[in-house]
Amino acid sequence: MEVEFPIDSDGDSTKKISIPIPLPKYTNIEDWVRKVCASETSLDYEDVYRKLRDFIRSETRKYEDSKNDVLILSSMSKNFAFPQIPKDHQRQPSFAEKFQFVVSKCSSQNLITLMQMEVFMKKEMTEMIRARNWEVEELTRKCEKVLDEHNDDMHPHQISMLNEKLRQVYVTYSHQVAQLSENQRQKYRKSVDSLFSHGSLPADFIEEIDLDESHFMGPATNSTNAEGVNESFTIYIGAQLKSMHNACLVTVDTMTDICQTFEGDWTTSSRLEMATKLYGRNLAAVTLLVPRDPMHHVTSSTKFQKLCEQSTELHFEPLAEQLNHVKTSTRQGNIWRAECVEKDDCGEKQIKPQLHDSVLSIGDVYCTKHSNLHKIQIVFHLVADDVLQSVEISSRHACLNGIRNIIKMTAHFGITSIHLPLLLIDRPDESTTIQWCVKRAEMVYKCVKGYLMEVCGGAANLESLPHYNVHFVLPSGLTPSIYTTIANMFPSIFHLVPSVSITL
Amino acid sequence: MRSLANGKFGAFIIRSVEEGGRTCANGLPLVPPNVRMLGRFQHMKALRHENLCQYLDLFRCSLAKNLVIIVSEHHLSNLQQLCKNTNLTSLEVIDLSLQIAKGLEYLHEQGYVHGNLDISNIEVFQIKPIKIRLASYALSYLTDFGEDSESLIINSPYCSAPEILLSGSCSEKSDVWSFGMVVQQMYTKTLFSDYWSGPQFISIIEKCCKTIENANQCLFNTLQKTTDYEKNDTLEKIIMNCINALPSKRPTITEILKDLNLNDSEIEDFEYVDINALREEIQERMNTEKCFILSEMPIEDAFFLWKMSGASCESIMIRKGVIQLRAPVSTVPSSVIEDFVFFGNEESRQFQFDDCLVILPDDKLLEKISSLKITDVIRPIYFARITDSTEDIIIDRKTSSLTVVIKEKDVKYQAQRMSILRHLVDCIQFDGMEELLRKEAFVDIPPVLRSRVWRSLLHVEDEDCLDFYNLDTLAPHTSDRQLDVDIPRCHQYEDMMTSPAAHSSLRRILKAWLLSNTNYVYWQGCDSLAAPFLLLNFNDPQIALPCLNEFINRYLFNFFLRDNSAIIQEYLAVFNHLLAYVDAQLYTHLADLGFFPELYAIPWFLTCFAHVLPMHKLYHVWDYVLLHDTSFPLMVGLAVMKQLRPRLIDSSFNDAILLFSDLPDLPIDKLIENAVYYYKTIPPSCTFRVHDSPWKATYSDAPYNLNREISPFTVAELKELNCPRMSKDEFCWRVHQQSIVVIDIRSSMDFNRGCVIRSIHYGNIEDDTFKNVMNAFKIAQENCHPICVVWGKDFAAAVRFSGKLVFKSINGVCILDGGFENIRDDRSLITIGHFKIIEL
């Protein structure tokens, strides 16, 4: 609504200035007074100010009165909305809170016993998984043997019999594994509860722990990758306000390897480290590239899924359940997307996402949390497409938006260490040429730098400048010259902190 | 200026809506709702009224991301408690109503509504006579009428108007309703919350409002539990009018004020105090009150000190369990899509907090302040001993010599400095005060007083502020589009600068600047330049504008002309000469690379480093800029070069470009120390510029007060030189002071006919060995004395010779302006028959 304000000077009352009521956001009365004063010389500012202020006030009042009169008259038949009065939230402490309490307050002996319990549980689980794997392997070999012997003239009934047997073994074991997981989880929770409430562990649980110091089997210790790059830099981020960060270039076979727990990694001390970090603000995260199905890890039984299964997830839900939540939230996300498209029909042709579709889009990120991976607590799953492997992409590609979201999440959820696939591919193939790699690396470097600037920009105060460890991960198997080129490119994009003090 | 008196600091929490899910314009990150609040809060901080509790600060929580904490003045007792414990007379009720109405009227005049008035948030700060202040006001403005906040900020339903209960829509008239309800509780001696629960109360309102016309009567009758009170027609009439169901039928606060005032206009009476009695009273208080200093301190100052004296508001709230944090790992969403929109695990991201007011503990502050002597803080010496040296003014020599960053964290030191400087800026009009202020400002400027000290140093008077009032900043301007692009990108690491409130204020100031300087145009960088003045005078654009104008007039004179190339080019050429003067080796290296200041220094000088340094560092640099003449930015530039020197000295062209494109973090103390050092050692006339500002700093001491005029050169001519030139006056002064080495390159015949006393002759300039003069150069450099080349008719020879010296890495080389001809008439300088050719 616009109202005319008569500028009264020299009796010339025809001159008017129109003023929007209510005043637009972030404009004030003074702005309009100055407008009036600028339009007419010989006006007294104070005088105009008073008049205009009273004028705007009474016009605003009129506007609000009529609005609220209508509101009251029309809603007299209905009930008043009751204002939300803060409820007394006497909630029970969650497992996470109890655990934090236990870690910070319990005697070290108890804590060590609890950690030993974890180690023991891992041992139990590993043994079971190994037994399963062995049996399945045996059976598979047997099947193959039978198949080979009979060549092609085997009765279909026989084949299905064998398959059935194989399936049976699977089912039995998966029941057993689930049973064991559940047991361990219950026990662990009970122990934490008991530590929380009486400061001691249930005696019968302690007795069960049977740790012979002999090693249990796991994948062989990682022979450190000799090939590729392993370099680290200290960098500055920020145009005016600078903050310091670490950046590393690392080479691994696949991204999943970063979370892999090796033999000897699973000790009471490493568990203790996890216990103190898990609920803190120095989390570590890794980024995996995944296809669009949210249940991919389970349905395809990926390497990552196998890693998770090595031991019971004692703190969070099992992977499959977490992924189920992802499925639900994907559906919610797609509904939200569809609504957004409906809302702004601004001619831009957008493919309307299908409602109730629980398939992720390229660039979406889903998150899972873990207490049983190697020094990693959060895993970001970035949805990538096959095209990414070969085609050149622009900085507006959805995947880079995914990386942006990951970096923003890093800032948001107390993550200080993050692993990103520098080339946005898991394994190289014939299309990964030198030029392609260099281009891709440059693009991701630059984008990540921009995103880091974005998250470091809004630092709440100068005392707590953010500090991140960013790991750029390269796949193994590239030609050595690619590694050197990419490593050499780094200082031309990021601003290195000089190793020597530059002040004289 | 309100002093803290017996007030406390009260803090409460508002939850803002979660980030994300909103579209983002022009590729910049979306402004989070809590930053939007931060911007608006600055306006609320400026509200000052006897009957309003003052707002002090708004903090964005860093751990509980979407919470903000608001701190305001707080008093321990409120009107509700007062009504319970005291039997108010109807006169007292009228007086209290008047005070409440005055507070509301002020808010309404300023364009705010209280929106939250309740008998429990009217705070009593004095008992005899009863004085009250309103609290928790204008929160609807802060949260953009609920747009930016998630928690409803309705304290209680007892005083909320029906339209607020219906839709949260508050207006002047809803305040009138609340006012009526508060007055009724006082008048009828019935505290609603004693008799009805919230839901019960609302059903009463609902029932009564069904009959629109008689709602007020119905409410009035239903809501009095006793008839045992002193009847008063005026009050009853006001209450009846206020609690009308329809807003349009309720009176305005202005009208209510008239009714109340008519009834008793003599409520305000002045007390005359005998000066001796007052003195005794103060003496008495000083001796008995433990926290006298603190209670007499301006409330903003006191809170500033509080912030330095202990834990942050957020950590106090967390420790007290008011904010209940969750471990970040448990709050991670299931999925994140598009522009940072979260899905899954929503509940865990809702930070729980208690909706209550927390009194911030002030024992640490008290402890620190009470260890100060009153005479440490309140120092009358300024009136008694203006002419004395500053020796005894600097109280704590040990602290004052520490770096400014450390000093700004020292509570006791700041308390003293704030008191001294506030005293000085308050009486700046008196003789000699400005000089004292300058002396004090050299020590350091307390952050809370920076805006006023800068204003005084820039000589911005009240009448300078009037210009602003005739500038129509709403009208479209040709630079609008550029402003749209630049403003959201200006100093974005600073929270406040990302808020829409700051953006609109910055636009206001920049447009006003353009309108008041029609010869200037908007150059990119003007935004950065205006930002410090905006932040220091957030609610006073009329002060920010003349400060900016004067700053530009002094240090960036004519930099923003449509064609500013002559000015900038000259500036850079002079800078380059000065670089040769202080660091010939670096100058030579960069000259060899062809790497000239044009490639890196333009944004430095065009914005006086505002585009290069983060705000907290910029403040300290400008603190010094404002205390020096127009050459100081050049010195800062040289100091930056010194910081970069180790990396520049063997750099290639590309390295250098890269280094300057992304400057490293610059240590501010070193920077300032070096800049001041250069200012003291470089001959002032070497900084002469034809296009310099007509404004001149006033100096009483040589060589700064000497005439710096030298013959005007074109930019092309300047570029021929590899070193600066010295003015005649300074040359003469330095010769007499023996703080110069004079090299005479005229022929020996000319030299013998008459030469400058103590000058060294070096006739054969083609001789590159400098064998005979090297030692003199060494001594000159050790003593930081300039080496000045005196020449006869052949200026080109002087240029060539000085260039050779510079390329030989000899620092401090300059050329006498006008050569020997310029000084030959000064008998005191010339000696004849000077046969000794080399004198060491």
Q: What is the pLDDT of residues B380-407, one digit of tens each?
A: 655 444 444 444 444 555 666 777 777 8
Residue B761 phi/psi, 5-degree rounding, is -95, 135
Beta carbons of B4 and B302 less than 8 angstroms apart: yes
DSSP B747-776: -HHHHHH-EETT-EE---TT----TTTHHH
- pLDDT, position A363: 92
Q: Tokens in use for B255?
A: 């009208």
The verdict on residue A478 lying in a domain is yes
Query: How high does pLDDT run on average in chain B?
Result: 87
Q: CA of A496 to nearest chain B CA: how many angstroms apart?
A: 9
Domain count, chain A: 4
Q: Are strands B77-78 and B122-126 parallel, antiparallel or unpaired?
A: antiparallel
- Residue A64: give the domain boundaries: 2-69
In a shared domain, residues A369 and A457: yes
Q: CA of A350 to nearest chain B CA: how many angstroms apart?
A: 14
| Helical segments of B111-212, H only | 139-142, 162-167, 172-187, 192-195, 198-210
* Closest-approach residue (CA) in chain B for A502: B646
Nearest neighbour of B504 by CB, restricted to A26, A60, A67: A26
- pLDDT, position A80: 58
In a shared domain, residues A195 and A115: yes
In a shared domain, residues A377 and A492: yes
Nearest neighbour of B472 by CB, restricted to A23, A34, A497: A34
The CA distance from A253 to A335, in Å, is 37
- pLDDT, position B382: 52
The CA distance from B588 to B595, in Å, is 10
- Does B614 sit within 8 Å of A502, measured CB to CB? no
- Does A325 sit within 8 Å of B334, measured CB to CB? yes
* Closest-approach residue (CA) in chain A for B200: A82
- pLDDT, position B21: 46
- pLDDT, position B839: 44
Q: Tokens in use for A366?
A: 């889903």
What is the arithmetic mean of pLDDT over A126-134?
A: 87
C-alpha separations of A372 from A126, A244, A259, B593, B674 in Å: 13, 30, 9, 57, 54
CATH architecture of B462-555: Orthogonal Bundle (1.10)
- pLDDT, position B263: 52
In a shared domain, residues A397 and A474: yes
* Closest-approach residue (CA) in chain B for A322: B334
- pLDDT, position B23: 45
Interface test mutation site (partner A, options B118, B203, B335, B649, max chain A beta carbons within 10 A): B335
Interface test mutation site (partner A, options B169, B213, B329, B494, max chain A beta carbons within 10 A): B329
- Does B163 sit within 8 Å of A71, measured CB to CB? yes
The verdict on residue A393 lying in a domain is yes
The CA distance from B71 to B670, in Å, is 36
- Does B152 sit within 8 Å of A76, measured CB to CB? no
pLDDT-derived band at A266 (thresholds 50, 70, 90) equals: confident
The CA distance from B412 to B148, in Å, is 38
CATH class of B76-140+151-267: mainly alpha
C-alpha separations of A137 from A2, A129, A143, A307, B291 in Å: 81, 12, 10, 18, 81
Taking one residue from A and the other from B, the number of pairs with CB-CB distance under 8 angstroms is 259
DSSP bridge partners of B742: B788
Q: Looking at per-residue confidence, does B226 or A197 come out higher? A: A197
Q: Tokens in use for B102?
A: 């005055």
C-alpha separations of B633 from A331, A420, B513, B626 in Å: 59, 43, 22, 10
In a shared domain, residues A251 and A354: no
- pLDDT, position B494: 84
In a shared domain, residues A403 and A483: yes
Q: What share of chain B is helix, strand, coil (3-state, %, to 5)?
A: 50, 10, 40
Question: Which residue numbers in chain B have pLDDT < 50?
Answer: 21-25, 383-394, 837-840
DSSP bridge partners of B816: B726
**C-alpha A268: how far from its chain's center?**
28
Q: CA of A421 to nearest chain B CA: how many angstroms apart?
A: 18
Whether B818 and chain A come into contact, CB under 8 Å, resolves to no
pLDDT-derived band at A485 (thresholds 50, 70, 90) equals: very high
Q: Looking at per-residue confidence, does A86 or B750 come out higher? A: B750
Interface test mutation site (partner B, options A29, A34, A281, max chain B beta carbons within 10 A): A34
The verdict on residue A427 lying in a domain is yes
In a shared domain, residues A23 and A145: no
* Closest-approach residue (CA) in chain B for A77: B210
Q: CA of A355 to nearest chain B CA: how many angstroms apart?
A: 16
* Closest-approach residue (CA) in chain B for A501: B646
Residues 497 through 526 of chain B touching chain A, CB cutoff 8 Å: 498, 500-501, 503-504, 508
The H or E element spanning position B481 is: helix B480-486
DSSP 8-class letter at A389: G
Q: CA of B409 to nearest chain A CA: how many angstroms apart?
A: 12
Q: What is the pLDDT of residues A335-361, one digit of tens each?
A: 888 877 776 554 444 555 555 578 999
DSSP B630-658: TTHHHHHHHHHHHHHHHHHTT--HHHHHH
pLDDT-derived band at A461 (thresholds 50, 70, 90) equals: low
Query: How high does pLDDT run on average in chain A?
Result: 83
Nearest neighbour of A333 by CB, restricted to B331, B337, B340: B337
Nearest neighbour of A413 by CB, restricted to B332, B343, B473: B332
In a shared domain, residues A120 and A179: yes
Residues 216 through 235 of chain B touching chain A, CB cutoff 8 Å: none
Q: Which fold has domain B721-831?
A: Oxidized Rhodanese; domain 1 (3.40.250)
DSSP bridge partners of A5: A17
Residue B832 phi/psi, 5-degree rounding, is -115, 155
In a shared domain, residues A261 and A153: no
- Does B644 sit within 8 Å of A34, measured CB to CB? no
In a shared domain, residues A267 and A132: no
Burial grade of A484 (CB within 10 A; 0-12, 13-18, 19 or more)? exposed
The verdict on residue A12 lying in a domain is yes
The verdict on residue A300 lying in a domain is no
The verdict on residue A223 lying in a domain is no
In a shared domain, residues A370 and A489: yes
Q: What is the pLDDT of residues A308-320, one digit of tens each?
A: 988 899 999 999 9
Q: Tokens in use for B225?
A: 């539990």
Whether B493 and chain A come into contact, CB under 8 Å, resolves to yes
The verdict on residue A222 lying in a domain is no
Give every CB contact of residue B580 below 8 A, 6+ residues apart in sequence. Answer: B587, B588, B722, B723, B724, B806, B813
Q: Which fold has domain B565-687?
A: Cyclin A; domain 1 (1.10.472)
What is the arithmetic mean of pLDDT over A92-118?
A: 88
- Does B329 sit within 8 Å of A414, measured CB to CB? yes
The CA distance from A389 to B404, in Å, is 54
Give span(s): CATH 1.10.8.270, chain B: 462-555
Give span(s): CATH 3.40.250.10, chain B: 721-831
Q: What percent of chain A has pLDDT over 90?
A: 32
Distance separating the N- and C-terminal Cα atoms of chain B: 65
The verdict on residue A503 lying in a domain is no
3-state secondary structure of A9: strand
Nearest neighbour of B664 by CB, restricted to A236, A460, A500: A236
Beta carbons of B201 and A85 less than 8 angstroms apart: no
Nearest neighbour of A240 by CB, restricted to B352, B471, B614: B614
Q: What is the pLDDT of residues A165-185, one digit of tens each?
A: 888 888 888 889 889 999 999
In a shared domain, residues A410 and A330: no
